[in-house]
Amino acid sequence: EPEVTQTPSHQVTQMGQEVILRCVPISNHLYFYWYRQILGQKVEFLVSFYNNEISEKSEIFDDQFSVERPDGSNFTLKIRSTKLEDSAMYFCASRGTPSTDTQYFGPGTRLTVL
Amino acid sequence: AQSVTQPDIHITVSEGASLELRCNYSYGATPYLFWYVQSPGQGLQLLLKYFSGDTLVQGIKGFEAEFKRSQSSFNLRKPSVHWSDAAEYFCAVGPKAAGNKLTFGGGTRVLVKP
């Protein structure tokens, strides 16, 4: 069964450093998402992406964040200058077509900012 | 604004006993409703979903959920719990529109006693 994959599984970085989290969505899916889950808190929506542009973003997704689909398979989340409060599990998800409404999630990347 | 409430943070159940997890939502219209499960160290796996039609939906691993519009609820049930059902369960809602940002509840952690 096709699945969403994410790399790395765990990333440790120093405050102020840039990080790029990578996701490979399910092939032929058209909609892509990033969510995050701070330890002990709810899973929160960050951003959705369709047709090579952001379709919706949350208040969390400020100028420090960016997303990109650099080629036909990868979907990345970049945090330019990490803060301690960016420590969280980051989940990528993808959805097939406008007529399908199920998002399939990857296993997540645990980001630890020191 | 939409919101999802899972009133029970933790539930402990004996193996073989029945399980019911509560989910209440606040939404401007009838949303799409989902239950996801997160096993330790794993990502979010879709258990089941409700879009329309029959209000009792069947999912994977023997789970079912019932949509009750009058109560704004979408409770998850399993008649007989297995030790492998120990995990965290998340209820989520999403709009019937493109974009499909999901709003998650806080999760219910299920512990299974032998």
Under a CB-based contact definition with an 8 Å cutoff, are residues A43 and A91 in contact?
yes
Beta-carbon contacts of residue A100 (< 8 Å; ≥ 6 apart): none
Q: What is the pLDDT along chain B (114 residues), one digit of tens a residue?
A: 789 999 999 999 999 999 999 999 998 777 889 999 998 877 899 999 998 888 999 999 999 999 999 999 999 999 999 999 999 999 999 876 656 789 999 999 999 999
Search chain B and give the residue with CA nearest A38. Answer: B106
Q: Which residue of chain A has the CA closest to B100? A: A101
Smallest Cβ–Cβ distance between B43 and the set A101, A102, A105 belongs to: A105
Q: Per the CB < 8 Å rule, is A106 touching B46?
A: no
- Which residue in A33, A40, A21, A38 sits closest to A88, CA to CA? A38
Residue B16 CB neighbour total at 10 angstroms: 13
> pLDDT tens digits for A48-104?
999 899 999 999 999 999 999 988 789 999 999 999 999 999 999 999 876 777 889
CA distance B81 to B59: 14
- Give the per-residue pLDDT at B59: 96
Q: For residue B99, what pLDDT is reported?
A: 61
Q: Nearest C-alpha of chain A: how many angstroms from B40?
A: 11
Of B51, B98, B105, the CB nearest to A98: B98
Whether chain A has a CB inside 8 Å of the CB on B30: the answer is: no
User: Are A101 and B44 inside 8 Å of each other by CB?
Assistant: no
